[in-house]
Amino acid sequence: MVVTDSKDSTLVGTHGFVVDETRNTFVLATPKGLKTVLKERITFVTQNKKHHGINFMKTIENRIQR
């Protein structure tokens, strides 16, 4: 996962693997350690697909039921 756009400019370019998730955040394992990012503030790319974090602001269980 790579953050490509964010309301917090310090997050742009942050990359890593998602190791935990809550309704409102992703926790990324980055080369510099763990980083928590708010879903509502980011746009990110995974496997060459662009995603808006706001679309992931439900629990995993609720997203699967859609």
Domains and CATH numbers, the chain: 2-64 (2.30.30.210)
pLDDT band at 40 (very low <50, low <70, confident <90, very high): very high
pLDDT band at 13 (very low <50, low <70, confident <90, very high): very high
pLDDT at 57: 84
pLDDT band at 30 (very low <50, low <70, confident <90, very high): very high
Quote the CA–CA distance of 21 and 2 in Å, as a whole number: 16
Higher pLDDT, 12 or 59: 12
- H/E element holding 49? strand 49-52
pLDDT band at 6 (very low <50, low <70, confident <90, very high): very high
| Res. 66: pLDDT tops 60 | no
